[in-house]
Structures are given as structure tokens and as C-alpha cells.
């Protein structure tokens, strides 16, 4: 009995001590965790101050060379817009025998008309302009040198009927003059793989035959009064297309 009483007293006296030891360990553990966390935070801040920060912008700046190019294009647009070539043609003259099909962005226009049982189609190309600055160099007095010093427009004239072959003329129109360069008889059944006989050079034909074909085209509307208007019209178109081309260039460089 005495031994049991001694054990009870010992255990009751040790219980507060054990509780104090457990509480002490818990407090020490909390202080240790807090110290470690504080150390990690301090280390992160110190490392953050050492590592440089980079800022990236989503907007890219255009090179200065592109900006210079845009300014040059804008200057050229201003000059092209002020050109008198836009006002060379006020309208289609009365009695003009063809319907004009002019599609923006194309370097040619198409003329169409019906003459009796024939369908006539003319493809008009951009003019070959001559400034006249080198007239003295080619002034030999012959007809060829005079034509070389004149502006002109190339034409491809096709005369067809409902069935059968068609005639295709390659024409150069000078001021007040029509020159036939070649004449081809085109067969509709010929494939692209076949090489058709195109006849002799037009200038090798008999002179009376050449004159007869000039009259043939004149009756169908290919005459100086028509081609002189077309010359002015194509200069106007060339100026418009050039201005549109410059605006497309500017838009591309800017974006």
C-alpha cells in the first residue's frame, strides 16, 4: 500500500512537468517554422532584387526604312494625283462605234461591236509613249524614223462570224495613222498543240492588197478618229492604274 501511494504521488508530480515539456516543444516548433518561412521570404526578395526583370511589348515598331519608303510613296501619290492625265478624256465622243469594257486593275480594255453578221472584238493595250526628247537623234527623214518618234497604242482586232475561221489583225495605231503589223486566219478547230500556217509577213503582200485590208478595217471602225480617242483614253487609264498601284504599295508597307 505504501508503495502504491508513492507511485501515485510520483505520477501526479510528473504530469505537469510532461505537459510543460510538450507545450515547450510545440512553441519551439512554431517559432522554428516561422523563422524558416521568414528566411525563405527574405531570400526570395533578395534574389528578386538581383535578377533583372524584362518587359515585353506586343507592339512592334516599324523600321525607319519602311517609314521613309512610305513618305516617298506618299510624295509620288501626290504628284500622280495632281497630274493632268486624269482629265485628258471627258467622255466617249458621239458616234464612237464600240462598246468599251474597262475593268479596273487590268492593263487592257476590250472594245466590242456587231457589224452586219460579224462580231468584232478589239483588245487595246497601254500606250507606248514617246517624250520627243531624242527626236534629233533619229531624224533621218524616212518614214520609219518618223514613226519611232511618235506615241502609239497596240491593238489586236478579231473579226469573227457565227461559224468558220476568224481574222486576227495585229495593229499599231499612231496619231492619224493605222499600221497593220500582221494578219492571221485563225481556225477554231485547231488545237493549241498544232502550229498553223500564219501566212506571209503583211508588209510582203502586194501593195494593193495591203490597202484593201486597211479599208476593210476602216469600214469596221478601226480608223484614226477611233484610235486617236483611244490613245487619250489609255493615257488616262494608265494614270489611274498607276495611282491605284501606288496606294496598294503604301497599304502593304504600312501593315
Burial class (CB in 10 A: 0-12, 13-18, 19+), 152: buried
Q: What is the pLDDT of residue 21?
A: 39
Report residue 32 as a C-alpha cell.
Answer: 522554428
Q: Please give the pLDDT value at position 25.
A: 46
Residues of the chain whose pLDDT is less than 70? 1-62, 84-90, 131-146, 189-195
Q: What is the pLDDT of residue 47?
A: 44
pLDDT the model gives residue 91: 84
**Per-residue model confidence (pLDDT) at position 73:** 94
The domain spans of the chain are 1-53, 75-248
Q: The domain 75-248: what is its CATH number?
A: 3.10.280.10
Strands 153-160 and 118-125: antiparallel
Residue 138: per-residue pLDDT: 53
Q: Are 175 and 150 within 8 A, CB to CB?
A: yes
Amino acid at each position: 500500500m505504501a508503495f502504491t501511494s508513492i507511485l501515485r504521488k510520483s505520477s501526479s508530480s510528473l504530469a505537469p512537468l510532461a505537459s510543460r515539456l510538450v507545450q515547450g516543444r510545440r512553441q519551439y516548433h512554431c517559432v522554428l517554422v516561422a523563422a524558416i518561412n521568414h528566411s525563405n521570404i527574405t531570400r526570395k526578395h533578395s534574389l528578386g532584387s538581383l535578377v533583372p526583370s524584362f518587359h515585353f511589348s506586343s507592339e512592334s515598331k516599324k523600321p525607319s526604312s519602311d517609314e521613309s519608303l512610305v513618305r516617298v510613296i506618299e510624295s509620288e501619290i501626290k504628284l500622280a494625283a495632281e497630274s493632268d492625265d486624269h482629265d485628258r478624256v471627258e467622255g466617249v465622243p458621239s458616234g464612237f462605234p464600240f462598246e468599251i469594257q474597262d475593268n479596273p486593275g487590268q492593263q487592257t480594255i476590250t472594245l466590242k461591236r456587231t457589224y452586219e453578221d460579224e462580231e468584232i472584238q478589239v483588245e487595246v493595250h497601254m500606250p507606248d509613249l514617246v517624250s520627243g526628247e531624242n527626236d534629233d537623234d533619229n531624224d533621218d527623214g524616212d518614214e520609219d524614223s518618223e514613226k519611232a518618234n511618235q506615241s502609239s497604242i497596240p491593238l489586236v482586232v478579231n473579226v469573227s462570224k457565227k461559224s468558220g475561221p476568224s481574222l486576227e489583225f495585229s495593229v499599231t495605231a499612231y496619231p492619224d495613222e493605222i499600221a497593220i503589223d500582221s494578219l492571221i486566219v485563225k481556225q477554231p478547230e485547231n488545237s493549241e498543240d498544232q502550229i498553223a500556217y500564219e501566212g506571209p509577213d503583211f508588209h510582203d503582200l502586194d501593195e494593193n492588197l495591203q490597202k484593201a485590208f486597211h479599208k476593210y478595217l476602216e469600214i469596221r471602225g478601226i480608223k484614226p478618229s477611233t484610235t486617236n480617242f483611244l490613245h487619250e483614253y489609255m493615257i488616262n487609264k494608265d494614270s489611274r492604274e498607276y495611282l491605284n498601284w501606288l496606294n496598294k504599295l503604301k497599304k502593304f508597307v504600312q501593315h
